Copies of this chain bind each other. A is one copy, B any other.
C-alpha cells in the first residue's frame, strides 16, 4: 500500500517555517546561527517533539529527531536537509527537505505504521556556507570530512567565531558530532536549483549522484600603463589575457561532454581605472562534471589556456586550486527505492546527476545515500524568486515518504 502524505499539512508546515526570517520580497534571510536560524531550530525541535520524536543536538548543532523502530538495534534510516538560507534566498531551498522528512513521520503516525528500522529526521548546521565557510559544513563535520575544532574557529564577516554563535543560540549540543551508530541509508529532498526538470516537464528528479567540482583562482600579472601614451605593442594587459581565458572556458564544456559546466563567476581588475592599462586581474573558475576523468582533462585544458593567453599578452600568472570535491555515485539500492516510489506513484521521474553539492555529498561517505529533486521553476535558486509549486513540493515529499518507508521496512 502506498503512503500518501497530507498535502495541506505539508503546505501549512512550509508556510510556518517560511515565516521565520521571511523577507519582504517573499524569500528568506536565515543565515546559519543567526537569530532567525535559532528560531527555525527551536520551531523544528518543537514540531519534532509534538510528533513524538526524541531530539538530540550534537556538538556542531546538527539536530536529530528519532522515531523508534520495531527493531531498536537496526541501523536507522536518516531523512532531512537544512533550515539555514542564503542572505536573500527562497523559502524552499533546504527547508523543503526538512519539512518533507517531518511530514513522512507524521504520515506514519496517521496510518499507525511501525517501521522495522528507526527513522531519524535531521536538520544539518550551515549548509549554505554564506556566513561561515564552507558550504555543507555541519554534515561535513558529522561525516568526518572536516575537523570540528577547525570549523569552530571559522569567523563571519564581522569576525564572530562560529563556536561562539553556536553557544549563544544554545545549539552546541552534548552529543559528539559523528555517526553514533551505523546508518542504513540517507534520503534528502531538495529543489533542483536548475532548469532541467522544468524544461523537460518532468514531475520529479531521481538523483543518481553529485557532480565532481574543481575551483581555482587565477591571477594574471601585467603592467599598469597610461592608456593614451602606451602603444599597443608595448602593453602587457592582464585583462586582455583574462578575457581570452573567459571565452576559452565558455567553450571548454563543448569539447568535453554534455554534462560539463564551466564558469568564471568572479573577476576583479586592478587598478580598475578608465585610463590605465590593467595590471592585475584575479578571477575564479568553477568546473563540474560527473566524471572525474573529464574533470582532470578540463583542469589540464584550463591551465593550458591560461598559459597560452598569458604568453600571448606577455603577462605572468598563478593558478591556485582552491577546492576539489570528487564526484559521488549514489549506490543502486537507495536510488532504486526512489525510482520505485516514483513509478508506484505514477509520476514522470527523470534520472539526473546533481550539479550542486548537498549534505548528501557527505552522508554518502557514511551510508547508502540518494536524493529526490523537486522542480525549480525556471531553475531559479539562491534568490527570493526561487519557486517550487505546492503540487511539485507534494510530489517530491510523497516520493520521499514511500522510498524512506521502503528502506526502513514495515514491522510485520
Given contacts A229-B381, A356-B229, A379-B230, contact A274 B250 (CB under 8 A): no
* Residue A27, interface by CB 8 Å: no
* Residue A253, interface by CB 8 Å: yes
Residue of B nearest to A246 (CB): B243
Of A262, A264, A265, A286, the most chain B CB neighbours within 10 A belong to: A265
Bound-complex Cα distance A134 to B274 (A): 13
> Does B234 lie within 8 Å of A195, measured CB to CB?
yes
Residue in B229, B253, B356 whose CB lies within 8 Å of A232: B253
Given contacts A239-B246, A263-B277, contact A194 B355 (CB under 8 A): no
For A275, list chain B residues within 8 Å (CB). 263, 265, 286
> Does A355 lie within 8 Å of B267, measured CB to CB?
no
Given contacts A193-B226, A267-B239, A356-B226, contact A261 B278 (CB under 8 A): no
For A254, list chain B residues within 8 Å (CB). 232
> Does A227 lie within 8 Å of B354, measured CB to CB?
no
**Copies of this chain, count:** 2
Size category of the A interface is 35 or more
> Does A382 lie within 8 Å of B240, measured CB to CB?
no
Bound-complex Cα distance A224 to B385 (A): 12
Q: Mark A240-258, 1 if CB is under 8 A from B, else 0.
A: 1011101100100110000
For A194, list chain B residues within 8 Å (CB). 226, 228-231
Bound-complex Cα distance A234 to B228 (A): 39
* Residue A339, interface by CB 8 Å: no
- Min CB gap A397→B, angstroms: 20
> Does B277 lie within 8 Å of A228, measured CB to CB?
no
Given contacts A239-B264, A246-B239, A269-B267, contact A355 B274 (CB under 8 A): no
